[in-house]
Structure 1
Amino acid sequence: MSETAADIEIDTGVAAVSYLDPNAPALFAESLRTTGFGVLRDHPIPQALVDEIHRDWLAFFDSEAKHAYAYDKEKHDGFFSTAVSEVAKGNDKKDLKEYYHYFGWGRYPAEVSDAARRYYELAGALAAELLSWLETHTPPDVRAGFSMPLAEMIKDSPATLLRILRYPPLTGNEQPGALRAAAHEDINLLTVLPASNERGLQLKTASGEWGYVPSDFGTLVVNVGDMLQEASGGYYKSTSHRVANPTGESARRSRISLPLFLQPRPDVVLSSRYTAGSYLEERLRELGVKQ
């Protein structure tokens, strides 16, 4: 498959589960176990709230006001321009994106409504519930390895991060091989993401093919991060994923994405090898974010 969006549809095996289904916890846990991803329909996060964030932040990224919030090199909150965008681990090209990091304690632009703040709280509460689902449906021998209940790991965590992403329209002058987001795995415990206004999210299947994650607008995409993989001894696997470059009319439009990265408190023990804090420090150094 090419490094751009492909027309071929690959069955990724990701289950789209109704939050209202009595069997949702078991179905959701199984999807995350087998694919690293799950999709929720009929979830409690209002679509109107997501729409408001998209409108607010598209305008913000199109304005000069964003530069007044340049990211803090120590705290890592604020605005990251395309010039300082991430280089995914194992890659040598910057992703084609700009973004804003919001922590519960961090700076928040005066130019936008409080919709993203409200989403931060709602999605965090939902993530705690989803982690409880996973724990209930994790085999006892794996569950015995958790240092505490999974939902407890993220309670009052200062490290949980909302990344408000904007993938700008493509110009045709991009560096060959550069993607909106190159293949990577998330560092955190769990990621919660409202389906974007434009398709593009792909995961790498067990057979090595890239397929689109089911992401109808209005659904919620959830995926396993490396910290959950570590804490579960590999029972839940962190799956490589990327955002492919669009073609046609979609290439001329911005794409907004709102991943909430649920990070445990730094002192939470993930395994005999790592606390959440030591794991995060190691990965940030690998990414070149920290020296």
Structure 2
Amino acid sequence: MQLSTVDYTAPDALERLVDSLIDTGFCVLKNHPIPKELVESIYRSWQAFFDSGEKHEYFYDKTNQDGFFPLAIAETAKGHTKKDIKEYYHIYPWGRIPAGLKEEVMDYYHRANAFATRLLSGIQRSVPEEVVAGLSMPLSEMIEGSDRTLLRVLHYPPMTGEEEAGAVRAAAHSDINLLTVLPASNQPGLQVRRTDGNWIDVPCDFGYLIVNAGDMLQEATGGYFPSTIHRVINPTGRMAERSRISLPTFLHPRADVVLSERYTAGDYLEERLRELGVK
């Protein structure tokens, strides 16, 4: 079983997007405005970067959380004890980015931000008044001027057979942020856990765009939009010999944005980074 897809150009696209987010926390879009040629080019150029020794010149900054995170210090998902089998690069507009890769990847960063802003505005127009009344401000305004929205370039290396027993590419987790925008990867593996506990595959047809609610959206809307558990499973057969590249943009509110009586966005993020063991 797979998640269904929504044609972004259809008259009822927004309604179906919201219904899918409520039902599963995820939505898969086709015919969206982000050029797949740009995504494909980024996949190629960053695969070359991860294959090179240059990545070690950009070792991550523990305070700012920008730069290259090697396999040895990958995240350990909340509630798990095994590190994920992945390395990745954190991109912020103010952070360190290899000069030869910056123009293209920042083009994508700004496109994804603009698209997510439109989605958030549309989502808010489609939810009950009592949910809107509980927001400290409109959803799209929460990310205006934010310096914490993160573009993560993920590299899941080929499997060697020497991985730690029980470790997977990305253990079951939810996203911390408000909304995630993710082009379909160059390999399958992403799965979503339904409320009945069963796992379903997320379509990975090239050109699709996956949108999912994060923990902060769940917190801000009092649970109206669920932040759904998802994972990336280990490949088998010939697929295990190939790398997997993924390009999620995690839309984060400004640190001072009030999510609920319990949290500001800044407090929530700091708590979760400590839980992940990267801060």
What is the TM-score with the length of structure 1 in the denominator? 0.94
Q: Secondary structure at the match of 1:112?
A: helix
1:215 and 1:221 in contact (8 A); partners too: no
2:187 and 2:204 in contact (8 A); partners too: no
Task: Say yes or no: does 1:253 pair with 2:242.
Answer: yes
* Structure-1 separation of matches of 2:203 and 2:227: 17
1:158 maps to amino acid: D
Task: Say yes or no: does 1:223 pair with 2:200.
Answer: no
Which stretches in structure 1 are left out of the alignment for 5+ residues? Answer: 1-9
Could you say which residue in structure 2 is the equivalent of 1:74? 63
The structural deviation recorded for 1:226 is: 0.1
Could you say which residue in structure 2 is the equivalent of 1:40? 29
The structural deviation recorded for 1:284 is: 1.2
Q: Once superposed, which parts of structure 1, at least 4 consecutive aligned residues long, lie more than 6 Å away?
A: none
Could you say which residue in structure 1 is the equivalent of 2:78? 89
2:231 maps to amino acid: R
For residues 209-255 of structure 1, give each alpha carbon's deviation from its aligned partner in whole angstroms, at most 9, with x where no partner exists. 11111231110001000000000000000000000001111110000
1:26 and 1:133 in contact (8 A); partners too: no
* Structure-2 separation of matches of 1:65 and 1:87: 25
Instruction: Choose 212-221 or 254-263, whichever is displaced more.
Output: 212-221
Task: Say yes or no: does 1:284 pair with 2:268.
Answer: no
1:191 and 1:259 in contact (8 A); partners too: yes
Q: Superposition RMSD on alpha carbons, in Å?
A: 0.9
* Structure-2 separation of matches of 1:112 and 1:153: 29
What aligned pairs does 1:147-186 form with structure 2 within 5 A after superposition? Answer: 147-186=136-175
Could you say which residue in structure 2 is the equivalent of 1:204? 193
* Structure-2 separation of matches of 1:183 and 1:116: 27
* Structure-1 separation of matches of 2:149 and 2:88: 16
1:176 maps to amino acid: A
1:39 and 1:215 in contact (8 A); partners too: no
* Structure-2 separation of matches of 1:104 and 1:147: 26
* Structure-1 separation of matches of 2:223 and 2:118: 21
Could you say which residue in structure 1 is the equivalent of 2:8? 19
* Structure-2 separation of matches of 1:149 and 1:113: 31
* Structure-1 separation of matches of 2:72 and 2:146: 29
* Structure-1 separation of matches of 2:35 and 2:275: 37
Which stretches in structure 2 are left out of the alignment for 5+ residues? Answer: none
Could you say which residue in structure 1 is the equivalent of 2:45? 56
The structural deviation recorded for 1:113 is: 5.3
Could you say which residue in structure 2 is the equivalent of 1:122? 111
Q: Secondary structure at the match of 2:272?
A: helix
Could you say which residue in structure 2 is the equivalent of 1:137? 126
2:150 and 2:251 in contact (8 A); partners too: yes
1:81 and 1:99 in contact (8 A); partners too: yes
Q: Secondary structure at the match of 1:114?
A: helix
Number of residue pairs aligned between Structure 1 and Structure 2 = 279
Instruction: Choose 15-24 or 43-52, whichever is displaced more.
Output: 15-24
The structural deviation recorded for 1:156 is: 1.6
2:273 maps to amino acid: L
* Structure-2 separation of matches of 1:237 and 1:129: 20
The structural deviation recorded for 1:49 is: 0.1
What is the TM-score with the length of structure 2 in the denominator? 0.98
**CA spacing shift, 1:113–1:283, aligned 2, 3 Å:** closer
